């Protein structure tokens, strides 16, 4: 049975899905801490600079690659020019590796919202645990429980993707994203009314030039760029795929501005929820899983009887952020597999393909799930824990390298006029041609080389930038 690949019903649906992809764990546990420890507001300025140099332009280019061809990355690049096909493979491979750790983390978020939910009624369980660090370590070392939550997370992904573009992804994200936004506002209001929360705001926002000393600013620029890129879901096949489901009526320029701006606003808001909460309870802030699952749980446990409710709210919103990101990546892999069937002239069934993709991803996640963030004694590829190993392949190498290729392809191969033609389809305006030209010819390739070096530097601690 063959069906059409599908399309978003409205531009709002497209924006919710794409912002859903962008807003994820990167916003919640990456951005606030990186901003706080890398110069505060000064980091933010460099983040915006990188956004202007390469974020907006790679975003619009991915939209255009998808929409002009109506295909997922591999076939999309092939259609543009068979020489470019390899870049499509990079993107889909990045998606496969990203999912191989992201879903395990998605499972963690489910465990935490479920446990906090139970505590609302029992006032016990996770809420009464004295040592949240021990609790987290016990959980991640319990392979059966981690795999169970991983499986649940993947089944929800599968159900949404089986529903198709409009009936599954759009329907889910148009409800989930506004809900996430409202929950975030409630959490921010609660947190900002706690005594001592102001110190958290100044941790995050106060410009601090220490990080910029010597060659430090180059490091900060690399970190800001890497964070921005990951946060926008670029270079991982997801945005091209969503672009391929967008109607020609809609403006690419407008969408390429709205999505990054919305993502940045949510990242700032996440910082306003998370950092002040740590400071109000005198808990040393951190980044990554430690922040989310140890520090913040401690905050809720210290909050008194309303703790489990706010804990549930926060972990549920993190779960939504994670799942709206993972479906975009899983959909990209499914869509690429559908293209491959169509190319061979074979019929396809979305549900079957989605099930196969999810099963394969489940298997790829097993090492991550059983590795307990490197603490379980599994063999470590290249000396990395499994999560970091997959992340190195996806976020460290394939994402920036593929995007560097895309920037060069648009700047020098297809030319900005190709982009203009796609943007002007059905009478939309292509504003800022000079800006886009400068981006694709110079700024974006430069920034991408920089981000690539920064990623390699941070994964291998090479000290390239001093």
In angstroms, what is the minimal distance from the CB of 441 to ligand PHE? 26
CA separation for the pair 441, 54 (Å, rounded): 11
Question: For residue 259, what are its two tokens?
Answer: 């999505």
Q: Residue 349 region, left (φ>0) first, then alpha (ψ -120 to 50), else beta?
A: beta
Q: Count residues binding ligand PHE (CB under 6 A).
A: 15
d(CA 246, CA 170): 12
Nearer to ligand PHE, 132 or 324 (CB): 324
- Using CB under 6 A, pick the residue from 53, 61, 92, 98 that binds ligand PHE: 98
Q: Residue 409 contacts by C-beta under 8 Å, 6 or more apart in sequence?
A: 80, 84, 87
Longest dimension (CA), the chain: 65
Taking CB under 6 A as the criterion, the residue among 57, 231, 264, 455 binding ligand PHE is: 231
Of the candidates 15, 61, 238, 277, which one interacts with ligand PHE according to CB under 6 A? 238
| Contact pick of 113, 230, 293, 300 for ligand PHE (by CB under 6 A) | 230
Stretch of residues binding ligand PHE (CB under 6 A), selected from 38-46, 240-248, 269-277, 322-330: 322-330
Of 125 and 288, the one with the shorter C-beta distance to ligand PHE is 288
Least separation, in Å, of the C-beta of 99 and ligand PHE?
9
CB of 227 to ligand PHE, least distance (A): 9
Does residue number 21 form part of the binding site for ligand PHE (CB under 6 A)?
yes
Are 189 and 272 in contact by the 8 Å Cβ rule? The answer is: no
d(CA 2, CA 441): 41
Least distance in angstroms from the C-beta of 321 to ligand PHE: 7
Query: Residue 219 interacts with ligand PHE (CB under 6 A)?
Result: no
Q: Which is nearer to ligand PHE, 29 or 84 (CB)?
A: 29
Minimal distance, residue 314 CB to ligand PHE, in Å: 16
Cβ nearer to ligand PHE, comparing 55 with 308: 55
Please report how close the Cβ of residue 329 comes to ligand PHE at its closest, in angstroms: 5
Which alpha helices (H) appear in 170-234, and where do they start and end?
171-192, 198-205, 216-231
Pick 220 or 320: Cβ nearer ligand PHE:
320
By CB under 6 A, is residue 335 in contact with ligand PHE? no
101 touches 307 (CB < 8 A): no
- Token pair recorded at residue 205: 């926002």
Q: How far apart are CA 235 and CA 394, in angstroms?
A: 9
Does residue 22 bind ligand PHE (CB under 6 A)? Answer: yes
Residue 173 near ligand PHE by CB under 6 A: no
Residue closer to ligand PHE, measured from CB, 53 or 236: 236
Does 146 contact ligand PHE by CB under 6 A?
no
221 contacts 300 by C-beta, under 8 angstroms:
no
Give Cβ neighbours of residue 147 (< 8 Å, ≥ 6 apart). Answer: 366, 369, 370
Q: Which is nearer to ligand PHE, 18 or 119 (CB)?
A: 18
DSSP 465: T
Does the protein bind ligand PHE through residue 73 (CB under 6 A)?
no
- From CA 54, how far away is CA 448, in angstroms rounded? 7
Per DSSP, 410 falls in state I
Binding to ligand PHE (CB under 6 A) within 174-203 occurs at none
328: contact with ligand PHE by CB under 6 A: yes
Spatial CA neighbour of 404 closest among 90, 16, 1, 123: 90
**Residue 24 contacts ligand PHE per CB under 6 A:** yes
Confirm or reject binding of residue 236 to ligand PHE (CB under 6 A).
yes
How far apart are alpha carbons 19 and 334 in whole angstroms? 20
Angle at 139 between CA 273 and CA 22, to 5 degrees: 40
Which residues contact ligand PHE by CB under 6 A? 21-22, 24-27, 98, 230-231, 233, 236, 238, 325, 328-329
């Amino acid at each position: 049975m063959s069906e059409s690949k599908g399309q978003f019903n409205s531009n709002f649906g497209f924006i919710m899905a794409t912002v859903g992809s962008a807003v994820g764990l990167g916003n919640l546990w990456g951005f606030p801490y990186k901003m706080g420890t890398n110069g505060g507001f000064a980091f933010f300025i460099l983040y915006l600079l990188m956004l202007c140099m390469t974020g907006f332009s790679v975003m619009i280019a991915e939209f255009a690659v998808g929409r002009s061809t109506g295909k997922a990355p591999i076939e999309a690049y092939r259609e543009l020019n068979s020489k470019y096909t390899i870049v499509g493979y990079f993107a889909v491979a990045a998606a496969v590796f990203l999912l191989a750790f992201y879903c395990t983390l998605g499972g963690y978020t489910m465990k935490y919202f479920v446990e906090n939910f139970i505590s609302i009624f029992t006032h016990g369980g996770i809420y009464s645990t004295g040592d949240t660090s021990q609790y987290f370590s016990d959980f991640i070392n319990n392979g059966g429980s981690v795999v169970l939550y991983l499986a649940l997370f993947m089944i929800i992904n599968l159900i949404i993707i089986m529903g198709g573009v409009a009936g599954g992804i759009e329907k889910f994200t148009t409800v989930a994203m506004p809900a996430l936004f409202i929950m975030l506002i409630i959490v921010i209001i609660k947190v900002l009314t706690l005594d001592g929360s102001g110190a958290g705001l100044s941790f995050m926002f106060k410009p601090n030039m220490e990080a910029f000393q010597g060659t430090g600013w180059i490091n900060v620029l690399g970190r800001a760029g890497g964070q921005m890129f990951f946060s926008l879901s670029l270079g991982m096949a997801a945005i091209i795929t969503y672009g391929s489901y967008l109607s020609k009526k809609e403006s690419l320029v407008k969408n390429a501005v709205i999505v990054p701006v919305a993502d940045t606003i949510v990242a700032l808001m996440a910082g306003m929820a998370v950092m002040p909460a740590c400071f109000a309870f005198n808990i040393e802030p951190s980044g990554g899983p430690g922040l989310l699952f140890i520090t913040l749980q401690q905050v809720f446990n210290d909050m008194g009887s309303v703790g489990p409710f706010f804990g549930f709210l926060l972990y549920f919103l993190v779960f939504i952020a994670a799942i709206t990101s993972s479906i975009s990546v899983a959909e990209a892999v499914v869509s690429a597999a559908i293209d491959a069937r169509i190319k061979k002239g074979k019929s396809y069934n979305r549900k079957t393909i989605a099930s196969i993709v999810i099963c394969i991803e489940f298997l790829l996640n097993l090492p991550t799930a059983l590795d307990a963030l490197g603490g379980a004694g599994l063999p470590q590829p290249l000396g990395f824990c499994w999560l970091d190993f997959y992340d190195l392949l996806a976020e460290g190498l394939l994402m920036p390298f593929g995007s560097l290729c895309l920037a060069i392809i648009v700047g020098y191969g297809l030319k900005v006029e190709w982009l203009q033609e796609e943007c002007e389809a059905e009478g939309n305006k292509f504003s800022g041609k000079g800006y886009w030209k400068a981006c694709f010819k110079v700024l974006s390739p430069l920034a991408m080389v920089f981000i690539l070096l920064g990623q390699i530097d941070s994964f291998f601690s090479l000290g390239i930038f001093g």
